[in-house]
Amino acid sequence: MSTGTIRPNLDFTKDVIAQGGDDLKKCYQCATCSVVCPLSPDDRPFPRKEMMWAQWGAKDKLLADPDLWLCYQCNDCSVQCPRGARPGDVMGALRKVAIAAYSVPSFMGRMVQNPSWFMVLIAVPVLLLGFLLTLGGGAEHAWGWAQFASPTTEHGGYVFDAFVPHFIIYSVFVPASILAVLAFIAGGVRMWKGMKEAFPATDASPQGGLVDVIKDILAHRHFDSCEDSKWRTWAHYGFLYGFGLLALTTSATIVLMYGFNLPPPLPFSPSHFFDGLLWKICGNIGAVILISGCILTILKRTSDGVDTLKSSFSDWALVLVILVIGLTGFGAQLLRLWSSAAASGALAKVAYVTYFIHLVFVFYLILYAPYFKLAHLVYRTIALVYGRSIGRMQKEEAAA
């Protein structure tokens, strides 16, 4: 690891405290946290050094520290801390500050993590989609708000494509996805360069150990090392695999629509098992798993006890946004089926509104993903890959 002059940054310390690390100054460097942490490596134990650097305001060191992301905030260290400094919560706060620092453009990280900006940010997709839906008037094949005013039937029932055509969805979500990917790439490059400068590793490469890291993430291997981690393991399984099944369903639907010319919605009929029912089952199972993960997280974060995690706006924003996406997606489907069976224009309007809310929150999740807690998926992966490089280098040096 590199050595050098540490330049204290008191504003950085204040940011950490504001993001949930308000017990930081209680730490008196007894190292109990590093001793009890089952994930802390022997050659570079955490979170003691991170607590010390945060007290000093060592911004540059902490932002480049891959060990920030080796912590899964099981809070074993907070439970055992004799001073109540809650190192687990401080590590969580440091990751939020790091995400804001990696953000490109930088102001987006500050805005998305600030509750004062939430209504402004959610208004962006509301106004954008709302405006685009005003363009759908016409005597024939009306869509958008014209369709909402007088719902018609297609393929034997009400369908959402009659309200929000797919070309509208693509025109909004494809650019949003591209912007999010570019922001992640820019933030990841910034993070990687910072780690290489602060903690040089001679064999570090973005591809080194990536396969093993992905396997660890998919299996949630590190969660099982912590005490009382089962709820968090299952909650994160819900997020990861719920999204995975929904992504698989979406991909299959696109292939069936454009590769096999099958119009939406896909049928529930057993006679259309591979071109309809199978993917409906996958999507619904994914939605249930996703919603269950959100509920588990909410129950734990609102429970009483010393091991209860401190929750910032960024924590709640992710959970609640995903919960709304899951509930509105599942609910829109049920309402569509119900309104089709009942031939009710009123129910169709409720279904359309539910679908509109669903699209708004999906847009929020996609466009702002690089700027709040969902960014863990990218930055933790990068840090785990780089951490393995440091570990290999230190082992080679010790052997030599």
Tell which residue, 321, 336, 248, 333, has the closest CA to residue 286.
Answer: 248
pLDDT value, residue 68 = 92
pLDDT in tens, 286-312: 999 999 999 988 888 887 665 566 778
Decide: 103 and 371 in contact? Cβ < 8 Å: yes
- pLDDT score for 320: 93
CA 370, 222, 191, 210 torsion-angle sign = negative
**pLDDT tens column, 38-63:** 888 887 889 999 999 999 999 988 99
Domain boundaries, the chain: 10-102, 106-393
Which residues contact residue 80 at a Cβ distance below 8 angstroms, ignoring those fewer than 6 apart? 32, 33, 36
Q: What is the pLDDT of residue 326?
A: 93
Helices 345-367/166-198 angle, 10° precision: 20
Which pLDDT score, from 0 to 100, does residue 27 have?
A: 92
> Which DSSP letter does residue 157 get?
B
HSE-CB for 228 with a 13 A CA cutoff:
13
Residues of the chain with pLDDT under 50: 1-2, 396-397
What's the mean per-residue pLDDT of the chain?
A: 85
DSSP per residue, 226-265: STT-HHHHHHHHHHHHHHHHHHHHHHHHHHHHHHS-PPSS
Q: Sign of torsion, CA 100 104 110 116?
A: negative
The overall pTM is greater than 0.85: yes
What is the reported pLDDT for 157?
Answer: 56
pLDDT computed for residue 389 by the predictor: 72
**Pick from 21, 22, 182: which is nearest to 108 by CA?**
182
pLDDT tens-digit profile of 77-105?
A: 888 899 989 999 999 999 999 999 999 99
Rounded Cα distance, 215 and 287, in Å: 23
End-to-end Cα distance, the chain: 17
What pLDDT does residue 124 have?
96
CA atoms of 175 and 378, how far apart (whole Å): 20
**Contact by Cβ (8 Å): 66, 386:** yes
So what's the pLDDT on residue 2?
47
Q: Are 330 and 276 in contact (CB under 8 A)?
A: no
pLDDT of residue 82: 92
Partners of residue 154 on adjacent β-strands: 157
